[in-house]
Amino acid sequence: PHIHYVTADGSRTELQADAGVSIMQAALMRGLPGINADCGGACQCATCHVYVDAAWTSKLPPMEDMEDALLDCTAEPRQPGSRLSCCLTMSAELDGIVVRLPAAQA
Binding site for ligand FES (CB under 6 A): 24, 37-39, 41-48, 84, 86
- Other CB atoms closer than 10 Å to residue 106's CB: what's the count? 10
Closest approach of Cβ 69 to ligand FES, in Å?
11
How far, rounded to the nearest angstrom, does the alpha carbon of residue 12 sit from its chain's CA centroid?
14
Q: Which is nearer to ligand FES, 24 or 90 (CB)?
A: 24
CA distances in angstroms from 13 to 6, 18, 52, 77, 87, listed in the order given: 7, 16, 15, 23, 20
Q: Which is nearer to ligand FES, 6 or 39 (CB)?
A: 39
Closest approach of Cβ 75 to ligand FES, in Å?
12
One-letter-per-residue 3-state SS of 14-56: EEECCCCCEHHHHHHHCCCCCCCCCCCCCCCCCCCEEEECCCC
Q: Which is nearer to ligand FES, 10 or 68 (CB)?
A: 68
Closest approach of Cβ 39 to ligand FES, in Å?
3
Closest approach of Cβ 34 to ligand FES, in Å?
13
Q: Which is nearer to ligand FES, 10 or 35 (CB)?
A: 35
Cα(30)–Cα(63) distance, integer angstroms = 26
